Amino acid sequence: MNGCMSGFGGMPTGVLSEGLKQLKSEHPSLLEKLEVQYNLVQQIEKEESIENNFTELIRRVSEFKAELDPHSEREEGVLFPMMGAYVGTTSGPIAVMEYEHDQAKGYIGSFLKTALEDRILSIEEMKEQAHLIKSAYVTLTEHFAKEENVLFPMAERMLSDEEKEELARKINEIK
C-alpha cells in the first residue's frame, strides 16, 4: 500500500488548527525515540554488546509504545473517522494511514511479545526481533512524513471550523 497517497502530494501546508497542530507536535518526540531505537538495532546487527543493547531496546520500545498508543488513538479514534466521512475509509488516504498504523503496531507488538517471554533468546533470535523494530522505524518515519505533508494539510482544508474545534476537544480528552 506504499505510495497510494501520491495523488495527494504537493499540497501547501499552511497553518494548522489547534487539534492538527497538537497531533503534529507529538511527532518530534516519537521520532527522537525511534532514532534511539534504530541506533540500538544497528548495534545489535553489528553484534556490539548485543545482550545489553537488546535489553535497552526492550526498555526503549516499551517506553515508546506508551507514548505512541495515545497518539495513535487520537488519530484512529478521532481524526481518521472525521476525515473518513469525506473521503471514505475503505480505500484512499485513511485506509493507507490505518494500514500503516496496523503494520507498525504489529511489528512492535510482536517484538515485545517475544522479547518479554520467559526464555533466553539466541543471538540470531535477538537480531531477528530487532529487525522488527527496524521495520517499525521505517514504517513510522515515512508515515509521520505523510501525515505532516499530506494528511494534516488535507484535513485542515477539508474540515469545517466546527469540526476542527470538535477534533481539538476530543483529542485532548485522550490521555
Domain ranges of the chain: 17-173
Mind giving me the DSSP string for the chain?
Answer: -TTTTGGGTT----PPPHHHHHHHHTHHHHHHHHHHHHHHHHHHHTTSSHHHHHHHHHHHHHHHHHHHHHHHHHIIIIIHHHHHHHH-SSSSHHHHHHHHHHHHHHHHHHHHHHHTSSSPPPHHHHHHHHHHHHHHHHHHHHHHHHIIIIIHHHHHHHS-HHHHHHHHHHHHH--
On whether the CB atoms of residues 25 and 167 are closer than 8 A, the answer is: no
**Once rounded to an integer, what is the mean pLDDT over residues 143-162?**
96
Give the angle 87-105-168 at the CA atoms, nearest 5°: 50
Residue 9 has pLDDT above 70, yes or no: no
pLDDT tens-digit readout, 127-141: 999 999 999 999 999
Residue 44 banded pLDDT, cuts 50, 70, 90: very high
Average the pLDDT over 71-89 and give the result.
96
Dist. CA 117–CA 65, nearest whole Å: 17
Q: Are 112 and 68 in contact (CB under 8 A)?
A: no
Check whether 11 has a pLDDT greater than 80: no
CATH numeric code, 17-173: 1.20.120.520
- Whether the CB-CB separation of 24 and 16 falls below 8 Å is answered with yes
pTM of the predicted protein model: 0.88
pLDDT band (50, 70, 90) for residue 4: very low
Q: Report the distance separating Cα 79 and Cα 26, nearest Å.
A: 14
User: What average pLDDT does range 42-51 have in this prediction?
Assistant: 94
